[in-house]
Amino acid sequence: MMRKTFGVGAGLAVIVALVGCQSAANPAPSGGAVADPSSAPLAAHGVEKSSAGANPGHAGKGTPLTAEPGHSLAAFAEGCFWGSENTFRHVKGVTATAVGYTGGHTENPTYETVCSHTTGHAETVLVEFDPKVVSYKELVRVFYKTHDPTTKNRQGPDVGDQYRSAIFTFDDEQKATAAAVIAEEQPKLAKPITTEVSPIPRFYMAEDYHQQYDEKTGKESCPLPLRN
């Protein structure tokens, strides 16, 4: 079963979200729940491959993050990390992205355990960027253009704390910038922004089949990508 799209009825949405988590966590051959997306053709159905790399900050399983000289790091959680990564991979100035888990209280999380909603981790995209080309403030604005920050622990049919809106900051300057953009965005919205802003704890790379998922499968996952 492939990842969900918007427009599903409220009752069915919860079922689809839960089943989607379970099947995606355990890819199966064609006779099972879902085929391994890593075997799917690149750029099928019009989803182009980005020139961005796939090793931001030399990320690993909770290892220290270090950007390339002259680059900076950012981390955003806005629901399904498949579509979120695809969005940021197409922003000019982004040099590398990867998806993973952060913001939780357990070590070495897996997609299956994160889907159980017991680890506290959020599906997160880690972004390495060149601040001479794109500013951190511009990236935060992209973040707010591509998801609903007013629905706590939910994006469309995806329900649970792993889908919460969150900005994980790397320094006080990023914290201040995030607060400034939230102040800009709140008057545009009828409901309060629920985005959590906190220093990034350890970041755990997600399983290989999640990385650059939309490019591998030719799909556009929610939250839908913003071409920039």
Domains in the chain, ordered, with CATH?
A: 10-217 (3.30.1060.10)
Q: What average pLDDT does this structure show over 221-225? A: 72
158 pLDDT above the threshold of 80: yes
Give 46's pLDDT tier (boundaries 50, 70, 90): low
Strands (E), the chain: 72-78, 94-102, 122-129, 154-155, 158-159, 165-169, 196-199, 204-205
Q: What average pLDDT does this structure show over 75-100? A: 96
pLDDT, residue 223, reads 77
38 pLDDT above the threshold of 60: no
Q: What average pLDDT does this structure show over 74-81? A: 97
- pTM of the entire predicted model: 0.82
Q: What average pLDDT does this structure show over 48-55? A: 90
Backbone angles phi, psi at 37, to 5 degrees: -65, -20
Is the omega angle on the peptide bond into residue 223 within 30 degrees of 0, that is, cis? yes
Tens digits of per-residue pLDDT, 108-151?
999 999 999 999 999 999 999 999 999 999 999 999 999 999 99
Min mean pLDDT across 44-53, 95-104, 176-185 is at 44-53
**HSE of 132, CA atoms in CB hemisphere, 13 A:** 3
pLDDT, residue 225, reads 59
What are the catalytic residues? 80
Q: Using alpha carbons, select from 58, 155, 166 the residue that is nearest to residue 104.
A: 166
The mean pLDDT value of the chain amounts to 83
Q: What average pLDDT does this structure show over 22-31? A: 36
Q: Which of residues 64 and 28 earns the better pLDDT score?
A: 64
Which tokens sit at 74? 């950012």
Nearest 5 degrees, angle CA 91-CA 179-CA 83?
Answer: 35
pLDDT, residue 49, reads 85
pLDDT, residue 21, reads 55
Question: Is there a contact between 197 and 156 (Cβ–Cβ < 8 Å)?
Answer: no
Q: What average pLDDT does this structure show over 210-221? A: 91
